[in-house]
Structure 1
Amino acid sequence: MYNLKNLIDRYRRVTILSHLRPDGDTIGTALGIYAILKKYKKSVEVVNADRDIPIYLDFLPNFSKIKSKIDFDDSLVICCDGGSTELFGFDLNGRDILNIDHHRSNTNYGIVNIVKANCVSASQVAFEVFGEEFELDKDSATCFYTSLVSDTQYFRTNNMTKEVFDVSLAMIAYDIDISEVAYNLNQRKSLSSLRILGTTLDSLELHCGGKISTMIITKMNIKKSGAKYGDLMGIVDHGISLATVNISIVFIELDSLVRVSLRSKKDINISTLARYYGGGGHTNASGFEMKIDNIEIFLKDLIKKIEEMGLLNGKKKKNI
Structure 2
Amino acid sequence: MRGLWNDSAVTEFILLGFPASQRFQSFLFFVFFIAYVLIVTGNLVIISIIRLDLHLHRPMYFFLSNFAFMQICYVTVTIPKLLIGFLVRKNNISISACFSQCYFFFFLGAIENFLLAIMAYDRYVAICYPLRYNTIMTPKFCWCLACGCWVGIFLGSFLTVAFLARLSFCGPNILNHYFCDISPLLRLSCSDTSLLKSYFFGLMWIIVFSCLFFTLVSYVNIIYAIMKIPSTMGHQKVFSTCGSHLTVVIIYFGAVIFMYVRPQDSYAFEEDKLISVFYSILTPLLNPFIYCLRNKEVKESLQKIIQAKKMMPRLYI
Larger fraction in strand: 1
Same topology, TM > 0.5: no
TM-score interval for Structure 1 and Structure 2 normalised by the shorter chain: under 0.3
Tell me which of the two structures has the higher relative contact order, counting C-alpha pairs closer than 8 angstroms and 6 or more residues apart.
2
Q: Tell me the TM-score normalized by structure 1.
A: 0.24
Larger fraction in helix: 2
Q: Tell me the TM-score normalized by structure 2.
A: 0.24
